[in-house]
Structure 1
Amino acid sequence: MIYIKNEDNRPQFNLALEQYVFDNLNQFDEIFLLWINEPAIIVGKNQNTIEEINLDYVKENNIHVVRRLSGGGAVYHDLGNLNYTIISKSKGSSSFNFEAFSKPVIEVLDKLGVKAEFTGRNDITIDGKKFCGNAQYMKKGKVLHHGAILFDTDLTVLSKALKVSKDKIESKGVKSVRSRVTNIIDYLDEKITVEDFKQLLLEHMFKKDSKIKEYKLTEEDYANINKLMEERYSTWEWNFGKSPKFNISKSKRFPAGKVETKIYVENGRINELKFYGDFFGGGEISDIEEKFKGIKYKEDEIEKVLNTIDVGYYFSGISKDELMQCII
């Protein structure tokens, strides 16, 4: 495993860095990054951004909004939040194994006298309250796993900036997003800073090595990362995207995540179909959206298309029959 040191606080740069490292540094089997963002909402790849944020509040408070490569739900970052990324060559598995990648965080907290546990599909909790959400992106035999750790984050801003859907709150059995999240610092007998915690996690990841192996980004690396940042992560098209024209909207939450569809049907045929949600999955969702264009909006026609798709790959943990419920 090698470590890439990064002190940049711009979320657009940090997400571009993740993608660049994932796509290009193939000479390493495992890569570890730690990064801290300025106030930002990081939305999941398949989410409808406008429906996930309190846009007026975000604008008034100069909070960045950036879309990431992985699925899952929107999260709030600030300078009291620590993000970690593990990029690894997957060992033949196409499943999303969140628990294995979450162990380092749980083990560091155990050393600090705090009992944390992995729960649900992708959360790490203390006393039943979430302090870390995890997400993954898979492509060509590699996995990018990242987690957002609430260490000393302003939870009041978090609750005002995010617009969490009612069905998600109800599925957790709680009244609000503020009541189901917590900060690590509240459980520490001896108070430390987020930078201290960052160092502890870094040392833990390299505990088997006598020295932390570091890859230093070159001028060419930085040039490519900045180009990617400008062309993707700083653009409205990537972060928000245009809202599709639709006359049918369906939404359903499953244990593996929420799937929402916006469909425009004209003369009995699907003119456009878009999938949104906080589900996880591999590949590009746009590839399968294209398959529905022009077909009749009938169950048997839709089933024919679904039979040509590896539903479990694009919608991890969701079956073909469940996906059908979200379309017709």
Structure 2
Amino acid sequence: MTEKKFTDPIFMIWSTKPTVMLGKYQDVSTEVDLTYIQNHDIQLVRRCSGGGTIYTDNGCCQFSLVQPTNKKIIDFSDGIHIIATALKETGFHITPDSRNDLIDDVGFKVSGNAQYLLNDYRLHHGSLLFDPDQVFMNNALRSDPVKLKAKGISSTRQRTGNLKRQQPTWSPSKFKKELNAAVLNNVPHKIYHLCSKDKERINDIAEQRFCSGNLLSSSEKLSFLKKRYIKGAGLVQLKFEVKENKLRHVRINGDFFSELDPQKFSNILDGTPFTPSAIHQIIEKALQPTPIVGITAGELVDLIFKKNCPHTRH
């Protein structure tokens, strides 16, 4: 996306050691049991896309689809179609849901997907829960009660399933091999092999982008915290201060999808008069070039001024 500039779509299937991946806009303090992951050697990274926090290990896998595009919008259709078709061809019963997940034949989530745009490319990536360590996953991740209530469940475990249930004799490596073959069987393709120079550069980028920075930066305590789950868009959370009747230190978090820069969003709102009309004007302007999928400026303003919110601190 930044250096190779391939003109063809790129597809990859890959796995990690035990890892928790935060979405671009998520607050680590509300999503992750930091003590648990530190005690169990689970690495923590923040990816470049929106969406929710996931746990992944060698028992499951991820896929990535990088496509050249001149459309500056989040669009899950191509990536979902490719992976759903391949899963069905390998004998799995799955269907896409209304947002960005795949669910199995009994209604459990088996894949979550996310995207971001960069340099005229769209990256679509997704997780595939074949046979992850359920103990690690359940203990490492926290579930926001607002989101759980909206979905009518009491825990993430109630909502997620494993694809291995449909292919109990398969190992994770066989699953990845069969899935990769099914994807490639559907399209003309050629294989690109990484050379040693590629691998060195990849390690440099990984060190710069994923192994530095303060993942805890969004966990600061501010006077007001408002959150809401919006169907089709996800959870959105706003933290802020009000000083001398002006909005200060706005922090936007959630599992929504956008190209919005959270620091720039905070900066342009800082010092805005604390009135719905003034804040609406600024937010609407900020969202014009970088909209939040499924969430309007009016909904964010309503959230800021929502009264009797159980998640508001004074």
TM over 0.5: yes
1:268 to 242, 245, 264: 245
Tell me, yes or no, if structure 1 residue 114 matches structure 2 residue 92: yes
**Counterpart amino acid of residue 269 in structure 2:** F
Determine if contact 2:86/2:183 at 8 Å carries over to the other structure: no
Taking a change above 3 Å as real, the CA distance of residues 132 and 242 of structure 1, as seen in their structure-2 partners, is closer
Between stretches 289-298 and 38-47, larger displacement belongs to: 289-298
Partner of 2:47: 68
Partner of 2:162: 183
Shift of residue 58, structure 1, vs aligned partner? 1.2
Tell me, yes or no, if structure 1 residue 228 matches structure 2 residue 205: yes
Partner of 1:243: 219
2:19 to 32, 40, 43: 40
2:177 to 194, 199, 202: 199
Determine if contact 1:244/1:274 at 8 Å carries over to the other structure: no
**Counterpart amino acid of residue 248 in structure 1:** F
Tell me, yes or no, if structure 1 residue 163 matches structure 2 residue 139: no
Query: What SS does structure 2 have at the residue aligned with 1:309?
Result: helix
Shift of residue 137, structure 1, vs aligned partner? 0.6
Tell me, yes or no, if structure 1 residue 123 matches structure 2 residue 101: yes
Taking a change above 3 Å as real, the CA distance of residues 270 and 33 of structure 1, as seen in their structure-2 partners, is same
Shift of residue 174, structure 1, vs aligned partner? 2.0
Shift of residue 159, structure 1, vs aligned partner? 1.2
Shift of residue 297, structure 1, vs aligned partner? 1.7
Distance in structure 1 (CA, Å) of the matches to 2:21 and 2:135: 17
Which blocks of at least 5 consecutive residues in structure 2 are unaligned? 306-314
Tell me, yes or no, if structure 1 residue 297 matches structure 2 residue 281: no
Distance in structure 1 (CA, Å) of the matches to 2:220 and 2:13: 36
RMSD: 2.0
**Counterpart amino acid of residue 313 in structure 1:** T
Tell me, yes or no, if structure 1 residue 174 matches structure 2 residue 174: no
Shift of residue 83, structure 1, vs aligned partner? 0.4
Query: What SS does structure 2 have at the residue aligned with 1:171?
Result: helix
Shift of residue 245, structure 1, vs aligned partner? 5.1
Determine if contact 1:312/1:319 at 8 Å carries over to the other structure: no
Query: What SS does structure 1 have at the residue aligned with 2:2?
Result: helix
Distance in structure 1 (CA, Å) of the matches to 2:6 and 2:88: 33
Of all paired residues, the percent bearing the same amino acid is 27
Shift of residue 202, structure 1, vs aligned partner? 1.9
Shift of residue 32, structure 1, vs aligned partner? 1.1
Partner of 2:67: 88
Query: What SS does structure 2 have at the residue aligned with 1:59?
Result: helix
Partner of 2:310: none
Partner of 1:253: 229
Partner of 1:14: none
Partner of 2:309: none
Shift of residue 242, structure 1, vs aligned partner? 5.1
Which blocks of at least 5 consecutive residues in structure 1 are unaligned? 1-21
1:55-98 alpha-carbon deviations (Å, 9 max, x no partner): 221111111111000000000101101100000012x4444332
Query: What SS does structure 1 have at the residue aligned with 2:286?
Result: coil
1:15-51 alpha-carbon deviations (Å, 9 max, x no partner): xxxxxxx222213331111110111110100000121
Tell me, yes or no, if structure 1 residue 317 matches structure 2 residue 294: yes
Distance in structure 1 (CA, Å) of the matches to 2:209 and 2:120: 23
**Counterpart amino acid of residue 317 in structure 1:** G
Determine if contact 1:139/1:282 at 8 Å carries over to the other structure: no
Taking a change above 3 Å as real, the CA distance of residues 93 and 160 of structure 1, as seen in their structure-2 partners, is same
Partner of 1:11: none
Distance in structure 1 (CA, Å) of the matches to 2:182 and 2:213: 38
**Counterpart amino acid of residue 183 in structure 2:** M
Partner of 2:79: 101
Shift of residue 280, structure 1, vs aligned partner? 0.4
Distance in structure 2 (CA, Å) of the matches to 1:149 and 1:96: 20
2:194 to 217, 235, 241: 217
Shift of residue 311, structure 1, vs aligned partner? 5.0
**Counterpart amino acid of residue 272 in structure 1:** H
Determine if contact 2:249/2:270 at 8 Å carries over to the other structure: yes
Distance in structure 1 (CA, Å) of the matches to 2:128 and 2:149: 23
Distance in structure 2 (CA, Å) of the matches to 1:134 and 1:96: 11
Taking a change above 3 Å as real, the CA distance of residues 227 and 140 of structure 1, as seen in their structure-2 partners, is closer
Taking a change above 3 Å as real, the CA distance of residues 309 and 242 of structure 1, as seen in their structure-2 partners, is closer
Partner of 1:10: none
TM-score for both structures, normalised by structure 1: 0.86
